[in-house]
Copies of this chain bind each other. A is one copy, B any other.
Amino acid sequence: MGGTRRQEILDAAIAVMAERGVAGLNLSEVARRVGIRQPSLYKHFPSRHAVYDELFRLAAQQQLEAARKAASAARPGLEALTAYVEATGRIALAQPVLAQLLGSRPVPDFEPSREAFRPSVEYVEDVRAHLRAAVEAGELAEAAAEDDAVALMSILVTGTLSQQLANEPNAAYDEGRFTRLIPQVLDMFVRFYSPGGPP
Contact = CB atoms under 8 A, between A and B. Distances in A.
A138 interface: no
B166 A160 contact: no
Interface stretch (A48-56, A57-65, A77-85, A187-195): A187-195
A88 interface: no
What band does the interface of chain A fall in when counting residues whose beta carbon is under 8 Å from B? 20 to 34
Interface in A144-184: 148, 151-152, 154-160, 162-163, 166, 177-178, 181, 184
* Chain A at the B interface: SS class: helix
Contacts of A158: 159, 162-163
Contact of A191 (B105, B107, B192): B192
Give the 10 A-B residue pairs with the shortest CB-CB distance, closest first.
Answer: A159-B159, A21-B108, A155-B159, A188-B192, A106-B106, A24-B108, A155-B160, A23-B23, A20-B108, A104-B104
